[in-house]
Structure 1
Amino acid sequence: MRVVNDTLIKAAKGEPTDYVPVWYMRQAGRSQPEYRALKEKYSLFEITHQPELCAYVTRLPVEQYNVDAAILYKDIMSPLPAIGVKVDIRSGVGPVIDNPIRSLTDVEKLGQIHPEQDVPYVLETIRILTKEQLTVPLIGFAGAPFTLASYMIEGGPSKHYNKTKAFMYAEPVAWHALMDKLADMTIAYVRAQINAGVSAVQIFDSWVGAVNEEDYRVYVKPAMQKIFSELKNEHVPLIMFGVGATHLVKEWNDLPLDVIGLDWRMEIRKARELGVTKSLQGNLDPAVLLAPWKVIEEKVKRILDQGLETPGFIFNLGHGVFPEVQPDTLKKLTEFIHDYSSKRV
C-alpha cells in the first residue's frame, strides 16, 4: 500500500498541513488489552521475532486511535545481540546485560551488524506493514549510542549512570571507540529499515539528559553528527528525542536532522525563543492522560496553540503512554487534536 495520509511527513519537513498530525510514543503496547493478552503468551522478543504478529501489534493503534503514523514495535536493544551483546529483557527490571563493557578490549571485541542476516524479522515486519497494511507513515527507530552505551556499561537500567560517566571520563579512548562502533551499527540498522520501507526515523536517546552541554559536545555529539549526516542522504525525516534533555535542544538544532522531540519540561514556545528552527514534536506529560478530560483538553489546547505559531509541528507525548491510560482516552484525544487544530490552521 502507498502512504495516503502524509500529514506527518509534511509537518516534519516544515510544510503547511490541514491539521496537526499526532502519534504517541508507546502507542503500541502496554495500555492495550489486546497487547496484554498477547504478553500472557509471548515475551517482547518473541513478538518482535514473529513478523505477522509484530505487524499486528504495530498497526493496532492506528486502527484504534486514528493516529497519523505507526511506529515499529520493537525494543532499542534489538540490534545489540548481532554485535555480541547478550541482552535479556526481564519483567519489572528492563534490559539486563550479563557481559558489561569494562575496557577498550571489551569494545574491540564487539562485532558489526548485518541487518538482512541478523535482524531479518525486523525488516520483514516493515515490508508487511508498508506493502500490505498501512496507509499512514511507518516510523522506524533506533537507540542512540549514549543510551545503548549506558546499558552496556551499567549492565542494566540505572538512576544516575555513575559507571557510564566514570568510564566516559576515565577511559576516553575506549569511550569514543564504543560510541563510534554504536554509531556505525545505528547507521546500518536504520538504513536497512529505510530500505525496507519506513517513511521516517526516530532516534531515542532516552538517558542523555544525564549529560551536561559541554560533555555532550565532547563525548556524545560527534557520534550523533556522524549518524545524522549519513542518514540525511536517505531523504526521510529524522527525529531526535531524549528524556530530561531539553538543555540540549540548541545542540540538537545544530545537527542535520529534521524534528526535535521535546519532553514536557520545556514549552514549545520556549524552544522557539531559544532559537530552535527545526520542526518540533511533543509534548504532553503522559501523566495528564490520567486526569479528567477537562484538564487534558486545557493542557492540549495550550500545546497546540504554541505549536501552531510556527510551521512544522507534530503532537506527541513527552514520553511513552502509561499502562494505566485508557485506549478510549487516546482515541478521544486524537479526534480532539485533529478537530481543534484544523479550525486553527
Structure 2
Amino acid sequence: MSQFPPLKNDLLLRTLRGETVERPPCWIMRQAGRYLPEYKEVKGDRDFFTMCRTPEIACELTIQPVRRYKGLIDAAIIFSDILVIPQALGMTVEMIEGQGPHFPHPLRTTEDVQRVLEYDADVTVSLAWAFEAIALTRQKLQGEVPLFGFCGGPWTLLVYMCEGGGSRLFRFAKQLINEKPELAKLLLQKITDVAVDFLARQVQAGAQVLQVFESWGGELSAMDFDEFSLPFLQQIAQRVPLRLKELGITDDIPIIVFAKGSWYALDRLCAIEGFAGVSIDWSWDPHAAVAVNQGRVALQGNIDPGVIYGSDEVIEKKVKFMVDAFGGGKRNYIVNFGHGTHPFMDTEKIRFFLEMCHKYGSA
C-alpha cells in the first residue's frame, strides 16, 4: 500500500485494534449522499448507478462530507451500494428515483436461483469500476482519514434478489428459506463467496477498513438468524483475511458488522473471531450493549438519526447520554448513527451533532 499517501488520522483504526484513544472516532452511515447540496449539484439528472460506476464522481461524492466537516469526521466510506453484488451475479438492478432499488427479474423459482448459482461471477471484471473508485479516492484523500470499503450481508442481498426491491412482508425470501432451505443456503453460499472476494479486492484497491451491512437481519427470527445469516457472516469474518493473504496482503484489516434489528444476536456477533467491531442500531440501550459485549470488540452507533430533526438542546442531551453510556468513548467505541442519514436532514444540524460528539468524547 506504499503507493498511497501516509495516513494522518488513525483514530478509527486504533480504536478497532482495542487501544485506548483520546476520543471516540466519528463517522455516520450514508454520510456521502442525498442530504448534501453539493451531492445534488453533482448528481443533476445522472442515474444513481452511473455515479457509482464513474470513479471520478464516486470519489468526489465520497470526499464531500470529509471536506464539509473537516476535522469532525474520522473516516470516509466509498460512494457505492450494497446491490453491486447481485449485479456481479448477473442480475439487473435499477435505482428508481423516489422509490429505491428495483429488480426487473427477481428470483421467484428454483430455475431463477439455479441461473444465479451457475453464473460465473468475476468481480475483477464486473466491478472493476469500484476498485478504480477506491484507488482514486484513497489518493485524493491524501491520508486525511481512512477509507471504508463495504458489502451487503448475504441474507440482506438474498432478500433484495428474491423480493425484487424493498419489502414489508418479505414473502418471497421467507418462502425460500422455509420451503427450500437447502436451495436458500446454496444461494447464500454463492453470495458469500462473491462477497469475500469483493471485500478483499477492495482492500487490494486501497480500502483500509471494511463494513458488512446485514440491513435486513432483524427480519429473521433468532432461530432463522442462526441458520441463514450468522454462519455466512462468520465465513466472511474468517475468509476475508485468508483471501487477503492469497492476494499478498498481510495488513490486519478490521471488519465491522452491522446486523440491524438483530438484538438477539449481539452476543454471538461479538464472539465471532475476525470482526473487530459490531455496529448496533438505536433500539439498543447502550448500557445493555456494553454489558453484553464485555469489551470483546468495538461497538459502533447508535443514536437514532431522527435526533437531527431536534433542537440543539435535544441533540446535545442525547449525544451526552450516548457517549457516557458507552463508557465515555475512550476505548472500544465508535460514534455513529444507528442507521443512515435521511435526504431531508439539515447539514448544520449534522455539524452540531459531530461537534457535540467531539465535545463529550474528549471530556
Q: Please report how far the alpha carbon of residue 309 of structure 1 lies from its aligned counterpart in structure 2 after TM superposition.
A: 5.0
> Structure 1 residues 275-284 or 106-115, which shifts more?
106-115
1:47 aligns with 2:51: yes
Matched-pair contact (CA < 8 Å) for 1:2–1:130: no
Aligned residue type for 2:124: E
1:69 aligns with 2:75: yes
> Structure 1 residues 247-256 or 50-59, which shifts more?
247-256
Matched-pair contact (CA < 8 Å) for 2:77–2:149: yes
The answer for the alignment partner of 1:98 in structure 2 is 104
Aligned residue type for 1:89: M
Deviation digits for residues 199-222 of structure 1, max 9, x if unmatched?
A: 111100111101111111122222
TM-score normalized with structure 1 length = 0.95
Q: Please report how far the alpha carbon of residue 49 of structure 1 lies from its aligned counterpart in structure 2 after TM superposition.
A: 1.3
One of 283, 301, 308 as aligned partner of 2:327: 308
For residues 202 and 153 of structure 1, the distance between their equivalents in structure 2, rounded to whole angstroms, comes to 23
Matched-pair contact (CA < 8 Å) for 1:107–1:177: no
> Structure 1 residues 266-275 or 27-36, which shifts more?
266-275
Deviation digits for residues 154-188 of structure 1, max 9, x if unmatched?
A: 11110121221111011011101000000001001
The answer for the alignment partner of 1:247 in structure 2 is 264
Aligned residue type for 2:111: T
One of 99, 115, 119 as aligned partner of 2:123: 115
For residues 93 and 10 of structure 2, the distance between their equivalents in structure 1, rounded to whole angstroms, comes to 36
> What stretches of structure 1 move > 4 A for 4+ residues in a row?
none
Aligned residue type for 1:314: I
Deviation digits for residues 133-172 of structure 1, max 9, x if unmatched?
A: 2420001110011111001111111012122111101101
For residues 174 and 104 of structure 1, the distance between their equivalents in structure 2, rounded to whole angstroms, comes to 8
Aligned residue type for 1:287: G
The answer for the alignment partner of 1:14 in structure 2 is 18
Q: Please report how far the alpha carbon of residue 90 of structure 1 lies from its aligned counterpart in structure 2 after TM superposition.
A: 1.0
Q: Please report how far the alpha carbon of residue 340 of structure 1 lies from its aligned counterpart in structure 2 after TM superposition.
A: 2.3
The answer for the alignment partner of 1:294 in structure 2 is 313
1:267 aligns with 2:271: no
> Structure 1 residues 179-188 or 124-133, which shifts more?
124-133
For residues 199 and 347 of structure 2, the distance between their equivalents in structure 1, rounded to whole angstroms, comes to 30
Q: Please report how far the alpha carbon of residue 242 of structure 1 lies from its aligned counterpart in structure 2 after TM superposition.
A: 2.4
> Structure 1 residues 128-137 or 236-245, which shifts more?
128-137
- In structure 1, the gaps of 5 or more residues are none
For residues 348 and 154 of structure 2, the distance between their equivalents in structure 1, rounded to whole angstroms, comes to 36
Q: Please report how far the alpha carbon of residue 265 of structure 1 lies from its aligned counterpart in structure 2 after TM superposition.
A: 0.3
Q: Please report how far the alpha carbon of residue 299 of structure 1 lies from its aligned counterpart in structure 2 after TM superposition.
A: 0.3
Aligned residue type for 2:140: E
Matched-pair contact (CA < 8 Å) for 1:160–1:210: no
The answer for the alignment partner of 2:247 in structure 1 is none
For residues 12 and 246 of structure 1, the distance between their equivalents in structure 2, rounded to whole angstroms, comes to 21
Map of 1:182-331 to 2, 5 A cutoff?
Answer: 182-233=191-242, 234=244, 235-256=252-273, 257-276=275-294, 277-308=296-327, 311-331=331-351
C-alpha RMSD of matched pairs (Å): 1.5
Query: How many pairs were matched up?
Result: 343
For residues 130 and 346 of structure 2, the distance between their equivalents in structure 1, rounded to whole angstroms, comes to 28
TM-score normalized with structure 2 length = 0.91
Q: Please report how far the alpha carbon of residue 232 of structure 1 lies from its aligned counterpart in structure 2 after TM superposition.
A: 3.5
The answer for the alignment partner of 1:34 in structure 2 is 38
Equivalent residue of 1:315, what SS? strand
Q: Please report how far the alpha carbon of residue 294 of structure 1 lies from its aligned counterpart in structure 2 after TM superposition.
A: 0.4
Matched-pair contact (CA < 8 Å) for 2:307–2:314: yes
For residues 354 and 229 of structure 2, the distance between their equivalents in structure 1, rounded to whole angstroms, comes to 35
Q: Please report how far the alpha carbon of residue 275 of structure 1 lies from its aligned counterpart in structure 2 after TM superposition.
A: 4.1
